[in-house]
């Protein structure tokens, strides 16, 4: 498992890893042509897309496995802000 902070510091578009995005799912992944290593992960944009899906489908909330590798709360903050913004708009 890769720590998100480690990914940002050492892998995303660095050290031979190229960032790609799955156009259907809207999620990023890294690939290193030399080592043939692929790393899939979420970033703030993909988390926002997932939170928007929750809103669009009228789901009751979000669940995730763990978020300790999100040391700066970038990913959790993206979900929180998207869901919270939706709640604010609904109450007006």
Average pLDDT of span 59-84: 86
Cβ neighbors of 88 (< 8 A, separation 6 or more) are: none
Question: Of the ranges 7-11, 57-61, 83-87, which one carries the lowest mean pLDDT score?
Answer: 83-87
- In the prediction, which pLDDT does 71 show? 86
pTM metric for this prediction: 0.80
Cβ neighbour number for residue 23 with a 10 Å cutoff: 7
Beta strand extents in the chain (DSSP E only): 17-22, 27-32, 37-40
Instruction: Give CATH for domain 4-91.
Output: 3.10.50
Strand partners, 27: 22
């Amino acid at each position: 498992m890769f720590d998100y902070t480690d990914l940002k510091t050492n892998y995303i578009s660095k050290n031979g890893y190229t960032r790609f995005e799955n156009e259907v799912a809207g999620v990023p992944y890294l690939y290193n042509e030399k080592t043939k290593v692929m790393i899939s992960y979420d970033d703030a944009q993909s988390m926002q897309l997932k939170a928007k899906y929750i809103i669009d489908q009228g789901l009751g909330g979000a669940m995730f496995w763990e978020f300790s590798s999100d040391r700066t709360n970038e990913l959790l903050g993206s979900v929180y802000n998207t869901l919270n913004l939706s709640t604010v708009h609904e109450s007006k």
